[in-house]
Amino acid sequence: MAVEERLRELGLVLPTAPAAAGAYVPTVRVGDLLFVAGQLPYENGTVKVQGKLGKDLTIEAGYSAARQCGLNALSQIKEALGSLDNIKKFVRVVGFINSDDGFGDQPKVLNGASELFGQIFGDRGKHTRLAIGVNSLPKQAAVEVEVLVEV
């Protein structure tokens, strides 16, 4: 099944790919690897989920933020490759989770991105992963997600 068809089946609409917020570009391809810049939970031009897990936000809110980062990464990949069908395999996903000192459930938050890729791409969506807590992120975003795919 084509990825766009699967997106429709899941009721998903890709957001407009957010512009790079600095002196850089959203994607770079080297050989079969497509590197995607870190994505924040932008929605219609603003970072929608701000604050810290374990203090300001529930795990559900963090999960939703990570999912939005994942959708934004897909938009960047589509912009770069023309079609999401050109993704051969997800390789690596890194989630930096804005966390209070005592918070230890970063994996549950990052599942928002990981499960999105699984729902859409099945086995091709399976990736290695790091879930890391940090004390601050650009624009007080709750989550920043980096994605690397094989083309």
13 binds a copy of itself (CB under 8 A): no
Rounded CA-CA distance 140/143 in Å is 9
Bridge partners of 132, per DSSP, are: 96
Q: How far is the CB of 85 from a copy of itself (least distance, A)?
A: 18
Rg, the chain, Cα only:
14
10 binds a copy of itself (CB under 8 A): no
Number of residues lying near a copy of itself (CB under 8 A) = 61
Q: How far is the CB of 102 from a copy of itself (least distance, A)?
A: 7
Contact flags string 84-113 toward a copy of itself, x per CB under 8 A: -----xxxxxx-x--xxxxxxxxxx-xx--
Rounded CA-CA distance 11/139 in Å is 29
Distance of CA 94 to the CA centre of its chain: 9
For residues 112 and 145, the answer to whether their CB atoms sit within 8 Å is no
118 binds a copy of itself (CB under 8 A): yes
Q: How far is the CB of 146 from a copy of itself (least distance, A)?
A: 6
Token readout for 25 is 């570009």
Contact flags string 34-73 toward a copy of itself, x per CB under 8 A: -xxxx-------------x-x-------------------
Rounded CA-CA distance 125/116 in Å is 9
Among residues 39 and 84, whose Cβ is nearest to a copy of itself? 39
Rounded CA-CA distance 77/138 in Å is 22
Longest dimension (CA), the chain: 44
**Sites of contact with a copy of itself (CB under 8 A):** 20-28, 30-33, 35-38, 52, 54, 89-94, 96, 99-108, 110-111, 114-115, 118, 126-141, 144, 146, 148, 150
